[in-house]
Every structure is written in C-alpha cells, then in structure tokens.
Amino acid sequence: MLIEMNLLPESYYKARRLKRLIALIVLFVVVAASALTGLYVVMLAQILDVNNRIKDIEVKQSEFAQILNEMDNIKKTNASVTGYLSAINELKDKQVFWPIVLDNFNKTVPDNVWLNSFTNKTETGGGRIYTVTGIGLFKESVADFIANINNPSSIFRNAFLINMSEAEVGGRISYNFVLSFQTVEDSRIKPARQMNVSDVSKTGVYGNNYINKEYNCSIFIPDGWRISNMSLSGNVLVAMEKEKKEGVGKYTPLVTVSAQKLLKASITPKEFQEFYQKKFSIWQSYEKLGEKEFTIGGEKVYDLEYFWKVKAKQDNNKLVPLIQRQIFCVKGDTGFIITCSDSEDSYKSNKEEFSIIFNSLKLQ
C-alpha cells in the first residue's frame, strides 16, 4: 500500500486560490464591460434615430410654415379678388338695374302728364326713394299716374303725392305735382313715409295706407296683404288678411283694428288690456304666452300674446290651434286694439309682418 505525502507548502495553495479569484474577477469585469458597451451602442443608435427624427420634423415644420405662408397669401389674394368681383358685379347690376327701372317707369306715365325731374336718394338703413316733379293737364291725370305706379303688376310701390298746385301753362290751368315712390325691393327694406290723417279728407284706403278720419288713426298695409271683405262687427274699424298662396294652410292670417270710447278717464293701456282679459280668458284652451309694455310712435302700448282653439267653419267646426297677439293703446278717451291672428303652425313665419303692421299705427 502506497502512502501519499503532500510536501507542498500551504502558501502554494493560497496563491493558487488567489489566482482563481483574480481570474473570476477579471472575467466578471470583461463581461460587465461588454454588457455596458453593448448598452451604450444601443442607446447611441436610439439617440441617433431620435436626432434623425427631430431633423425630419424640423424639415417638415419648415415646409408647413411655407405652406401656411402660402395659404395666408392665397387668402389675401382671394379676399382681394372677391372685392374686385363684388365691385364688378355691382357695376353690372347697376348697368342692368337702371334700364329696367327707367323702362318700367316710362310705362307708368299717362297721357297729359309731362315730367320735369326724376331723382333718387338712398335713406339711412337702406331703401331708395324716387322723387318726380312734373305737370299734369288734369287732376285725374296725376291720379292715374299714381295708380299706374301702385299697380300690383308694376315693379313700384308706395307712390305718394307730396304736393300739387295749380299753374298756368300756355294760357291753360294745369297742375304742378311732386310725388315719391319706391321699387318693390326697396319697399321691403324700408317702407316709404306713411300717409297721415291730415293728408286725406275721408276714411279709406290710400295706396298702402288705411286712414280713419273719425278716430284719427292710420295703419300700413304691407305688400301681400289686402283689406278683407269680411263683415265687420262691433268696434272693428278695418280687417286685413294675407293673400292666399297655393300650398298654404287653411287658416288665413288676419289683422284687425278696433276702437272704442272709454268710460273711464286716464285709463292706462295695461288697465285697458285687463278689462278685455276677463272676456277672452274663458275661451277654450286659453293660455297666456307673454306680455310686455313698449311704445309705438311715442304712444305707450301693452302687448299680449296668447294661445287658444277656435272652430273652423270651413272645416266642419274642427278646432284649430290659434295664436293671437293683441296691442292695446289709449289716446285721449279712445282705446285701440290691434289683433294679429294666425294658426299655431304658421304664426312664426308671419310674426315679422305682424310687427311691421302694428308698429305702423299712427294716432293723431
């Protein structure tokens, strides 16, 4: 049996273990350095990619800035061109407008009427007024002239005789006159001056005006409206209705003007309305929609709007939902009521015309 003997000193083994430890440490350092180098390379590549993207974005931003600048220039050019086109169109319209006006006006001049001047003026807020001076051989000739201008088939409206006086022409009595009128479009923008009670000698319809001499009141009749042929009852002075058009509802928009002498002195429009409120608040399905106070021609008025249902005789007494607006006004010892009526379905479409009518009320 062999006997093994370890003759190496202990320091040899210590040195051997130390070498192994150093080798492990070196290996770890190398691995760690390799890992860090790889991470650095990856991050460097990402940074380069981000920088490239930033450069691309900056290039696109520069391109977009140029595009925006070009768009601004296009907008300015478009605005300039639009202005030029508007000016050109306006000139073209004028070129067409005046021949039409003059040609149609020439057709309204009757025999025995000679014109001295023809002028026009645009009022504040729009609406052109034409003024004509001339001589008529007879009063009837001047009347025919006004009637021709106001003819529904013409393009003119609101012919108004400003003044007329006798004049001797060639040893014969004739009549100097001054009158004004509008085109249909101008009258829609701003109606001409409304005739006054002092302009006429008796109650009646004059052009687009209803004038009542007994109660010293007048009201405007817009185009598309006419004096109703319905029989007037109670204190109703006049009733006007909108001309029927095909496809329009069965109920005809209606405006009435009523007047009555008041027993109580110094009554207010509100008190006048409250008196009538007791009368119609019992109507079927009555519902108050709104009320307010304002002025018309310097006169205080009370405005009441309400809903109710009325039987339609032309439709087998079927109940029609109705909206009415009433304007109450007091002048001296007389109370005036303007009643605007229409079916619920079409009330809104006629509301503006109702306002034109009741705002034209003049009391003297």
Highest mean pLDDT among 5-19, 79-93, 95-109, 178-192: 95-109
Give the whole-angstrom CA distance, residue 143 versus residue 148: 9
Does residue 47 lie in a domain region?
no
Which is higher by pLDDT, 246 or 32? 32
φ, ψ of residue 352 to 5 degrees: the values are: -65, -40
Tally of structural domains, the chain? 3
Of 189, 216, 232, the residue at which a domain comes to its end is 189
Neighbours of 162 (CB within 10 A): 13
Beta pairing partners, 318 = 312
Of 46, 77, 106, the residue at which a domain comes to its end is 106
Shared domain for 177 and 213, answered yes or no, is: no
pLDDT of residue 190: 60
Give the whole-angstrom CA distance, residue 296 versus residue 220: 13
| Each residue's pLDDT tens digit, 281-323 | 666 677 888 888 888 877 889 999 988 887 666 556 677 788 8
Tokens of 191: 């109606």
Shared domain for 230 and 257, answered yes or no, is: yes
Does residue 43 lie in a domain region?
no
Shared domain for 182 and 325, answered yes or no, is: no
Angle between helices 139-150 and 10-108 (to 10 degrees): 150
Confidence tier at 7 by pLDDT (50, 70, 90): low
Q: Rounded to 10 degrees, what is the CA torsion of 155, 158, 162, 163?
A: 70
Shared domain for 133 and 236, answered yes or no, is: no
19 pLDDT higher than 80: no
Give the whole-angstrom CA distance, residue 251 versus residue 349: 13
Shared domain for 75 and 219, answered yes or no, is: no
Tokens of 298: 């310097």
Candidate from 72-81, 187-196, 279-288 with smallest mean pLDDT? 187-196
Does residue 19 lie in a domain region?
no
Say whether pTM exceeds 0.85: no
Domain that holds residue 66: 61-106
Shared domain for 218 and 332, answered yes or no, is: yes
Residue 346 and residue 337 in contact, taking contact as beta carbons nearer than 8 Å: no
Residue 311 belongs to a domain with what CATH number? 3.40.1000.10
Provide long-range contacts, Cβ within 8 A and 24+ apart, for 38-45: none
**Mean pLDDT score of the chain:** 81
| Each residue's pLDDT tens digit, 139-174 | 888 888 888 888 878 888 878 788 888 888 777 888
Strands 128-136 and 113-122: antiparallel
Q: Which residue has the tokens 């503006």?
A: 352
φ, ψ of residue 158 to 5 degrees: the values are: 60, 40
| Each residue's pLDDT tens digit, 336-356 | 999 999 988 888 888 888 888
pLDDT of residue 216: 92
Does residue 230 lie in a domain region?
yes
Of 166, 189, 212, the residue at which a domain comes to its end is 189
pLDDT of residue 134: 92
185 pLDDT higher than 80: no
Confidence tier at 212 by pLDDT (50, 70, 90): very high
Shared domain for 159 and 247, answered yes or no, is: no
φ, ψ of residue 200 to 5 degrees: the values are: -130, 165
Does residue 307 lie in a domain region?
yes
φ, ψ of residue 338 to 5 degrees: the values are: -105, 120
Shared domain for 238 and 214, answered yes or no, is: yes
Shared domain for 89 and 118, answered yes or no, is: no
Does residue 123 lie in a domain region?
yes
Does residue 13 lie in a domain region?
no
Q: Which residues contact 127 (CB under 8 A, 6 or more apart)?
A: 182, 186, 187, 189, 190, 191, 192
- Kindly state the DSSP code that residue 190 receives in the 8-state scheme: S
Q: Where are the alpha helices (DSSP H) in the chain?
A: 10-108, 139-150, 184-189, 269-280, 347-359
Shared domain for 245 and 351, answered yes or no, is: yes
Candidate from 116-130, 133-147, 208-222, 336-350 with smallest mean pLDDT? 116-130
Shared domain for 237 and 323, answered yes or no, is: yes
Shared domain for 178 and 318, answered yes or no, is: no
Q: Which residues contact 214 (CB under 8 A, 6 or more apart)?
A: 203
Residues listed for the chain: 364
CA angle 182, 183, 186 (to 5 degrees): 80
Does residue 56 lie in a domain region?
no
